[in-house]
Structure 1
């Protein structure tokens, strides 16, 4: 068996499924508006760490699963997660060099753009959220990025996922 083979790929999928579960877990009413974008954050981590294993196809499949889970227009979350994956993969080399606080700032912009596309798609379908509140999940997600990144990096190293 070669040492360069893929190992523990199930960890990637388990973490992404956990992100799907966290995205539908109940929160108190006052926290609903700032719900973190768990799936996009976990997907971003694996895109940065293992771009040869996780890519835009993974983002598309995850987005379709999220569409089915939320009961939204089929392809809506798939488009948004594919956009996030494209932007993260485009900035991949630069993002890996940045410290975590700078990664958080870049991710806030990327996730803010994703939320803007979400707002646009919601406006097209007739269900518009409140005005500037659509950007709050991107801010909360950017604040959570250093802790999530540290946790996933520990799992990644401990289980030797490659």
Structure 2
């Protein structure tokens, strides 16, 4: 694939836009505390699959878009998503070799660290959650990783994204 022209990049950006929409889609109140980190999941997949096309700049841009959609402090989600993608890029070669259950465990730690940074930023702005609810999105996201991976891998192979 060296020297070949990138193909079907629209699928990457369409899926990331879908992740942004999923991140603000209404959910029942009892499920709200475990809202998956959709943008982080989709960015993680595309960073592992095509690191030459999706990276920290993409994470920053989609983080800013998430901040605008969620009405949070501008740059807060951008910082957290950039941290996630930095860690994923640092572990890129190892993550690709791990079986799916180990990938999920590593991503649980990565997303958990990102949620801790998010909690710290919320505390600085005066919006701190009083309980350990901030851990649930990382746990739900790690449990969803095998399905997100399978769906996006199927789409990547079907449309020949590289």
**Same topology, TM > 0.5:** yes
Q: What are the Cα deviations for residues 62-108 of structure 1, in whole angstroms up to 9, with x where unaligned?
A: 00000111111110000000000100000000000001110000000
Which 5+ residue runs of structure 1 have no aligned equivalent? none
Question: CA shift at 1:129, angstroms?
Answer: 1.3
What SS does the corresponding residue of 2:74 show, helix, strand or coil? coil
Question: CA shift at 1:22, angstroms?
Answer: 0.3
Question: CA shift at 1:130, angstroms?
Answer: 3.0
Alignment of 1:83-94 (within 5 A): 83-94=83-94
Where does residue 101 of structure 2 map in the other structure?
101
Where does residue 123 of structure 2 map in the other structure?
123
Q: What are the Cα deviations for residues 7-47 of structure 1, in whole angstroms up to 9, with x where unaligned?
A: 00000000000000000001000000000000000000000
Alignment of 1:1-150 (within 5 A): 4-150=4-150
Q: What are the Cα deviations for residues 118-158 of structure 1, in whole angstroms up to 9, with x where unaligned?
A: 00000000011132110000000000000110000000000
Give the whole-Å Cα distance in 2 for the aligned partners of 1:26 and 1:106.
29
Question: CA shift at 1:3, angstroms?
Answer: 7.4
Give the whole-Å Cα distance in 2 for the aligned partners of 1:27 and 1:67.
19
Give the whole-Å Cα distance in 2 for the aligned partners of 1:27 and 1:45.
24
Which 5+ residue runs of structure 2 have no aligned equivalent? none
TM-score (norm 2): 0.98
Give the whole-Å Cα distance in 1 for the aligned partners of 2:130 and 2:54.
34
C-alpha spacing 1:140/1:157, structure 2 compared with 1 (3 Å): same
Q: Which stretches of structure 1, 4 residues or longer, exceed 4 Å deviation after superposition?
A: none
Where does residue 153 of structure 1 map in the other structure?
153
